[in-house]
Amino acid sequence: MFITRRIHSLVLALLLLGVGGVGPVASAQPTGDTRGRDTRIVFFGSSVPNGTGDETRQEGYTGRVRQLLEPAGWDVVNRSRGGDNTVTIALRFEPEGTPDPNTPYLMTADAGYAVLALSLGNEGIMECAPGQSRRCTKTRDEADRIYEQFATGLWNLVERTRAEGIVPIVTLAYARSDFAEREYAYTRRMNLLINSWDVPSVNLLGAIDDGGGRWADGFVADPLHPNSAGHTEMAHAFVPTLFDALAAGKPTPTRSTNPGFIRVSGGSPTPLSFSPEHPMRSFAVSFLVRATGDGTVAGVSGQTLGNRVTTSAYGRQRQPIDIYNLSPSGQIRVAVSVSGGRLTYTASSGEIVLSSATATDGEWHHVVLSHYAARGETVLFVDGARAGAVSERLQPERFVLGGGGRAADEAPQQADFKEWMIHRAGLNADEAAALYDGTLVQASLEVYASLSGSSAMATENRAQSLSVVEIERAGVTHTEE
C-alpha cells in the first residue's frame, strides 16, 4: 500500500552539530559548473508550480525557488502544465515513441531531483455545484475515491521517479478559494498522509492558508491560483538547504527514541538558538517543556511585517486584484513563558494568550507556536489543543529555547526541554495534534533537535537541512532518563 513508510536507499551522512562555538556545517553544494543531472531539479506539476497567477511573470514559486538555489549551483527546470492531475501527468512522465514537442516530459529533462507538485482540486475533490458534473464529486463515497486516487497516483509517481534514479520531493496539497470545510478536511488529511511517507515534502498550505483551506486575502489571483505575493509566500516554505542535505544523503527524519533531555538552570539567556540564513515568513516552533516555576521558556526575535496594498489587472478580462506586499517594518521580540504556573504567549503587540494547562505540575507539556504571515495570525497550541490566537505578521530572525534571548527575559529557575522543531510553515490544529501524539510532521522542517541521546547527538539536526543549532554551555546540562 502507498501509505506504508518505505526506506529509501540513501546513505546516511551524519551532520552532527557542535555544542558551543559552532560554525556552519560544511555544505555539500554542487559547484554550478557541471549543470548536469546531479544538480538539476525539475518541478513537475500543474498550473500553480507553472507560475499561473503570478502577474509579475516570474514563473511563480518555482521561479522564486530558482532565484534562491541557482547561486548555490542548482539548475531549476520547470516541466509543469496547467490542469494536470495524477492521471494526466502520468502520461507525460516519459514519451512513448517520438516525443511530442509541445509536451513537457519529466524524463527528457534529465532530472536528478523531481518536485512533484499537484493539487486535490485538479483531481476533482470539489463537491459538485447544482448542475455541475465535471471534475467534482456528488457524494462522500465519490470524494473518498478521489482522495484514494490522488494518494495512489502520487505515490506511483514517487516510485517511478525512484526507479529512474531520481530523488522525489512532494509538495503538500494546498488552498483554493472555492474550498469549503469538506475540501479543507480532505486537504488536511492528505497532508498528514504525505507527512507519513519516507519522502521529503514541502508544506505549501502552511504558507498561504486563510484558516479554512482558501488563499489568504491579498494573496490570490483567482479562485484556483495565488498572485505574485502568494507565490512568494509559498517559496518561503522550501527549506533552503533541502537539496544540499539530499545530495549529502541525509534521510527523511524520524522521531528520536533516545532517552534524555536538556536541562537549563541559570547561565546564558540564550541556551539554545537558531538563526535562519535565508528569510523566513510563516513558521512553527514546537518543543516539550517541564518547568519548575515561572519564566520565559522560548523566544523569537525578528521584525514585524508591514503591508503595502497594490492593485493589478489580471487575466484575460483584466480584472483588478489586490496584492499584499509584505516588508519588514520594525524590530520585535515575542515569547512563550510560564506565568502564574500557566503557559502563555506574549505577542509583538504585548497581547497575551493564556493557556489553561498547568505547566509546573512536574509533567512534560507540548507547545506549538504557529505563525501564518499571509493571513496575519499566530496560534498557540498546548498539549495538542488550541489555547488562542493573536493578529500579527512576523519575519523571524532568531529562535531561542530555554530563555528569551535577553538578560531581562528571566527564565524559570530550572526547566527541561526536548523535541525542538522549527518548520518553515504554519501548522494547523490537525498537525499540532499529530505532533503532540508523537507523529513527526516533516514537511518544511528545517530544524529538529531531539535534545536526547548522548550529549553529541542531543543537538544534532535530524531535519533534512544543513541548518545549525547553537548551544551555550553555561547552565545547560544533558540528562539521560
Asked if pLDDT for residue 82 goes beyond 60, the answer is yes
Asked if pLDDT for residue 461 goes beyond 70, the answer is yes
Asked if pLDDT for residue 40 goes beyond 70, the answer is yes
Asked if pLDDT for residue 32 goes beyond 80, the answer is no
C-alpha cell at 127: 463537491
Q: How confident is the model at residue 456 (pLDDT cuts 50, 70, 90)?
A: low
Asked if pLDDT for residue 4 goes beyond 90, the answer is no
Predicted pLDDT at 439: 97
Q: How confident is the model at residue 475 (pLDDT cuts 50, 70, 90)?
A: confident
Predicted pLDDT at 337: 97
Cα distance between residue 474 and residue 468, in whole Å: 19
Predicted pLDDT at 19: 30
Cα distance between residue 440 and residue 431, in whole Å: 9
Predicted pLDDT at 9: 31
Predicted pLDDT at 268: 77
How big is the chain by its Cα radius of gyration, in Å? 22
Share of the chain above pLDDT 70, in %: 92
Burial degree of 11 (CB within 10 A; 0-12, 13-18, 19+): exposed
The answer to whether the CB of 334 falls within 8 A of the CB of 299 is yes
Helix axes 60-69, 228-235, angle to 10 degrees: 40
Question: Cβ neighbours of residue 476 under 8 Å, at least 6 residues apart?
Answer: 262, 263, 264, 267, 268, 271, 272, 402
List the single range of 20-24, 161-165, 208-212, 396-400 with lowest mean pLDDT: 20-24
SS3 of the chain: CCCCCCCCCCCCCCCCCCCCCCCCCCCCCCCCCCCCHHHEEEEEECCCCCCCCCCCCCCHHHHHHHHHHHHHCCEEEECCCCCCCHHHHHCCCCCCCCCCCCCCCCHHHCCCEEEEECCHHHHCCCECCCCCCCCCECCHHHHHHHHHHHHHHHHHHHHHHHHCCCEEEEECCCCCCCCCHHHHHHHHHHHHHHHCCCCCEECCHHHHECCCCCECCCCEEECCEECHHHHHHHHCCCCCCHHHHHHCCCCCCCCCCCCCEEEECCCCCCCEEECCCCCCCCEEEEEEEEECCCEEEEEEEEEEEEEEEEEEEECCCCEEEEEEEEEEEEEEEEEEEEECCEEEEECCCCCEEEEEEECCCCCCEEEEEEEECCCCEEEEEECCEEEEEEECCEEEEEEEECCCCCCCCCCCCCEEEEEEEEECCCCCHHHHHHHHCCCCCCCCEEEEECCCCCHHHHCCECCCCCCCCEECCCCEEEECC
Q: How confident is the model at residue 131 (pLDDT cuts 50, 70, 90)?
A: confident
Mean pLDDT of 341-359: 96
Asked if pLDDT for residue 331 goes beyond 70, the answer is yes
Asked if pLDDT for residue 288 goes beyond 90, the answer is yes
Predicted pLDDT at 157: 99
Q: How confident is the model at residue 35 (pLDDT cuts 50, 70, 90)?
A: low
- 72 or 316, higher pLDDT: 72
Residue at 131: amino acid letter: G
For the stretch 50-66, pLDDT in tens is: 999 999 999 999 999 99
Mean pLDDT of 450-464: 85
C-alpha cell at 211: 484558516
Asked if pLDDT for residue 136 goes beyond 70, the answer is yes
Cα distance between residue 158 and residue 193, in whole Å: 14
Which of 28, 53, 463, 89 lies closest to 228 in space, CA to CA? 53
Cα distance between residue 238 and residue 425, in whole Å: 9
Mean pLDDT of the chain: 91
Predicted pLDDT at 243: 99
The full set of domains in the chain, from first to last, is: 37-237 (3.40.50.1110), 261-479 (2.60.120.200)
C-alpha cell at 135: 471534475
For the stretch 222-271, pLDDT in tens is: 999 999 999 999 999 999 999 999 999 999 999 999 899 999 998 778 89
Asked if pLDDT for residue 423 goes beyond 50, the answer is yes
C-alpha cell at 42: 525539475
Share of the chain above pLDDT 90, in %: 82
